[in-house]
């Protein structure tokens, strides 16, 4: 499970940073890719990664500002040429479907696969048994949401030593125990799954926020997150400017991570006033409050390991 930052700039693309987009690669058995935001040039940035458009089956849009959504129509159109024939589900604020459908209609574009739109609302958006996705409203200049991806806990490993001691023959019975089912052996003895399984493997949590001022919705979504992606458009000392434009500073992002008890903070959405060489300074500002902080650059990949 890993997150690739495709664009880490704010407002407009630059030679150093593209506008916002990121891709979350899920573990087996799904091995799907979920895209979060799709600023202009997102499909070009994907060409620099191993990620294939046909692996993207869910797209989550935080809000309708152009630096987060103008790359979506082109990406959807190209997806069909990249072997994308399976349906894709797109989550986003009101007006997203109208925007995309209007552009396709006026340009005469034909999409040869099904696109399902789901209007984002606060609460649980879906739960497929492996992952649950929750949304909450943030505070920006237009309706904006953040997303919390929660992996369900998984059964622990079978203790082969205990199985051998109990003289459980290898084969289908192992599979039934792994699935959490108790079994009965030919001699009448019963073996309970809980007695031969290790501790459950705790699911991971990834929180991806759209543009926002510090707010309760951000803290709620980021609670206990293994990885929190938070915008940091401005550096420390520019809190008034951040407030005026509905954004956050490095220190404010760090405060949210600290309040939420997150485990790692990745800052993104940096103003074009900052050079790549400023990244270390911006990260150091946040680390005075939340030490486990990185300032992301385009192309950075962050692994989300399982919790022990």
Cβ atoms 38, 61 nearer than 8 A? yes
Separation CA 47–CA 50 (nearest Å): 8
**Three-class SS state of 79:** helix
The two tokens of residue 176 are 């039934």
Task: Find out whether 247 is annotated in a ligand binding site.
Answer: no
Task: Find out whether 263 is annotated in a ligand binding site.
Answer: no
Task: Find out whether 110 is annotated in a ligand binding site.
Answer: no
First to last CA, the chain: 15
Question: Exposed/middle/buried for 21, CB within 10 Å: 0-12, 13-18, 19+?
Answer: buried
**Three-class SS state of 173:** helix
Task: Find out whether 44 is annotated in a ligand binding site.
Answer: no
> Would you please indicate which residues are annotated as catalytic (active-site) residues?
67
* Half-sphere exposure (Cβ direction) of 203: Cα atoms closer than 13 Å: 15
Separation CA 18–CA 272 (nearest Å): 10
Ordered DSSP codes for 96-132:
HHHHHHHHHHHHT----S-EEEEE--SEEEEE-SSEE
Binding site for Zn(2+): what residues are annotated? Answer: 63, 65, 67-68, 140, 211, 269
Binding site: what residues are annotated? Answer: 63, 65, 67-68, 140, 211, 269
């Amino acid at each position: 499970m890993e997150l690739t930052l495709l664009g880490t700039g704010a407002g407009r693309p630059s030679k150093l940073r593209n506008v916002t987009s990121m891709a979350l690669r899920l573990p087996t058995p799904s091995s799907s890719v979920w895209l979060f935001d799709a600023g202009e040039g997102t499909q070009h940035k994907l060409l620099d990664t191993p990620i294939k458009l046909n692996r993207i089956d869910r797209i989550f849009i935080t809000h309708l500002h152009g630096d987060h959504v103008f790359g979506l129509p082109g990406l959807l159109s190209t997806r069909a040429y990249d072997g994308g024939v399976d349906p894709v589900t797109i989550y986003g604020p009101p007006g997203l479907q109208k925007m995309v459908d209007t552009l396709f209609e006026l340009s005469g574009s034909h999409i040869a696969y099904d696109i399902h739109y789901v209007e984002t609302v606060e609460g649980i958006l879906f739960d497929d048994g492996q992952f649950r996705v929750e949304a909450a409203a943030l505070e920006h200049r237009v309706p904006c949401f953040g997303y919390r991806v929660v992996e369900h806990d998984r059964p622990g490993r079978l203790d082969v030593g205990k199985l051998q001691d109990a003289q459980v023959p290898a084969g289908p019975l192992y599979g039934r125990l792994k699935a959490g089912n108790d079994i009965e052996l030919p001699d009448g003895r019963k073996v309970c799954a809980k007695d031969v399984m290790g501790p459950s493997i705790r699911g991971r949590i990834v929180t991806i926020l759209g543009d926002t001022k510090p707010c309760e919705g951000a803290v709620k979504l980021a609670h206990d997150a293994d990885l929190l992606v938070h915008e940091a458009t401005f550096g420390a000392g520019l809190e008034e400017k951040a407030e005026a434009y509905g954004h956050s500073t490095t220190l404010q992002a760090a405060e949210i991570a600290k309040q939420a008890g997150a485990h790692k903070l990745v800052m993104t959405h940096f103003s074009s006033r900052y050079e790549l060489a400023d990244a270390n300074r911006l990260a150091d500002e946040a680390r005075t409050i939340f030490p486990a902080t990185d300032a992301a650059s385009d192309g950075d990949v962050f692994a989300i390991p399982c919790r022990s």
